[in-house]
Chains A and B, each alone.
Chain A
Amino acid sequence: MDQPLAAATGATPPRPAGGRTLHRFANPGRFLRATGKLMPMLWGAALVVLGIGLVWGLLLSPPDWQQGETVRIMYVHVPMAWLAMGGYTGLAVLSVMSLIWRHPLADLTARELSPVGAAATALCLATGSLWGKPMWGTWWVWDARLTSVLVLFFLWLGHAALVRAFDDPERGARAGAILALVGIVNVPIVKFSVDWWNTLHQPASVTRLNAPGMHVDILYPLLVCALGFSLLFGAVVLARTRAAVMERRVRALQLARARREDAVPA
């Protein structure tokens, strides 16, 4: 493990065989330099793609013959649902990296990912309610899809709270990783809930590639918005991770300074 990393994180994970590439970016200086170049491009791409998606979805795409203008909520609701599930799968991958390779950057990224994932899931639920009231006549029903997404939201919140509940960040990261891996079972339940049970929520329409369930006038702006929100999600998580790496470095330096001052004889 690189010395600057040990200084920054206080962690001393063993370097596994074959983990050289994986641990290359565990060096905080290298990570900050590499992502520093990437960040402006990521923010720029997110804003441009979202701008196009917003204009297309709000102004250029036609209203649905049944849903009317309310169909435009789908351009934010569906990307949030995909990010909630995809992000949680990413959290599980980071948890595997954390538990097997003890990768400190995986711990930090997971810690910074969970509040953003919780926000995306909350937005999925909120925009779904805002769509449901005019379309179904109710804000909420306890059907399998809505309930499993609510469970996913609680899993995100639980992870965010658990990793911050320990004085020792490594213990918090380990507990959070176990929770994330247990909770991953809920992701296929969310995905297939509309097939396994009778739900008020409609079945999958975008992912039926052999028989697309929506017209291209609605499908294309939806895909552009999904790409834009994915880029924005990635940019926010990366920006939070960069800030967290620097905060750990600050804490390590403050600790080193306090130790030096204690060592000086009065």
Chain B
Amino acid sequence: MDDAAIQATGLVKHFGETVAVDGVNLVVQRGQVLGLLGPNGAGKTTMVRMLATLTRPDAGAAKVGGHDVIEQAHEVRGKIGLTGQFASIDDRLTGRENLFLIGRLLGFTRAQARSRAAELLNRFQLDDAADRPAQSYSGGMRRRLDLAASLVGQPEILFLDEPSTGLDPRARRQLWTLIRELVSDGVTVLLTTQYLDEADTLADEIVVIDHGKVIAAGTPEAIKRRIGARTLVLGLVDSTRLDLAATILAGVSGQDPDRQGERLSVSLSGHSMLPALIRALDESGIEVDELVLKDPSLDEVFLSLTGQPAPPETMNPEAS
């Protein structure tokens, strides 16, 4: 356990009367990705802030990179990179200047800071925009620059607080690729997210928190097993055959499919149901125009883990 990259024991943080984090334990092994999953206000950001030495815990202890976050904050800061929820870059500097400044602050010489900036701009596909002020960047570009800024010092441990919030699907996938590359370079990552699919794609282990407490932890597979079903959504070439298709799906799955507009959806159980459904449709000569597999939404996750839906203000239309 001693060589864990991040180790937190009984972390507690109050803000006035509110308990933001209520006794969280957490271990992230070196080179691993931990996904901290939860709705808005669950305490994810406060956890990250405590581990990144920005907020002092009221109780509990944490070691990051082998150093205590309170007693050895300066040493911790030398090992981490932090990309917050809102891209914290300087809008009035160019992308290149932003990275150059971070390099200088970390003690690089001018030449080193310049070459590190160029290297990161290239790696994050920001070459073309390198000399434009960051305020002209798109959301995805800003996020990439923000991530690049966190990487100037080649941190061992990277905190990503809701890295893909507000990004379009393409920018999101681009970001995921970048994160995977970092992980393959050996960086330990703690990422917070509201999306199960994001945690599923990136994380080796998921910790689900709500109201400052851990309510589930395990590998993505284990979490998904506990949560259960994915959903198959179908659209037909010939929508006049929807009724027939619905009857066939009901026969194979043993449940009445949901019908939304011209689409049918069935929740899947077991690994043989999907091929069975497709085979049955094919045998009746029904042509499929659209086929989507949906992970449970965060709300469904919470429903199955806590027996209660996630608090309404956290419902996110993008979560699917």
Whether A associates with B in a native complex is no
Chain A interfacial positions (CB closer than 8 Å to B): none
Chain B interfacial positions (CB closer than 8 Å to A): none
